[in-house]
Structure 1
Amino acid sequence: MTSTTQIDARIVGNVEFRAGDGPQLKIPEGDVQVLMADDSVVLTWTENGQSLTAAIPKIEFDRYIQDKAVVLGRG
């Protein structure tokens, strides 16, 4: 069974994801909702009035936090 945690965060640097086999896409700076599982993270944000989501490996998300491109919590 996988446990999940939902937290608020802010994108403050270059954070990208790949949609399927397509190119890397940038998540815009601003507030996001983060749903963390054991091995993956789903980010949800609003852009032009639309709710968008991206799934990335947890190890990649941890690197974004270490690089200070993602800040946990709201500011």
Structure 2
Amino acid sequence: MRALDIIAESIRVGYVHPTTVLNTLIEAENEGGLGAVRQVERHLSVGNLALRERSHPHQDLAQLWLGATRAYLVTQAERKQAV
């Protein structure tokens, strides 16, 4: 999944632009629906825990990705309920 590659690279370099976060999540949804975004969230959740245990210097960025992914899922669920 391309989204996971983008996320991994941004965590490796320690930087991501907010537009990249949103575009990556939209792209994941376009490729595989909200199930794909949930899969990204599960990967981030497990990965974030591993990074925290290792005291990785960019763990905070992984946490940012996780929070943004969860917010995206909540927003999309609310949007679908409103229709």
**TM-score for both structures, normalised by structure 2:** 0.29
Q: Would you tell me which structure has more strand in proportion to its own residues?
A: 1
Q: Would you tell me which structure has more helix in proportion to its own residues?
A: 2
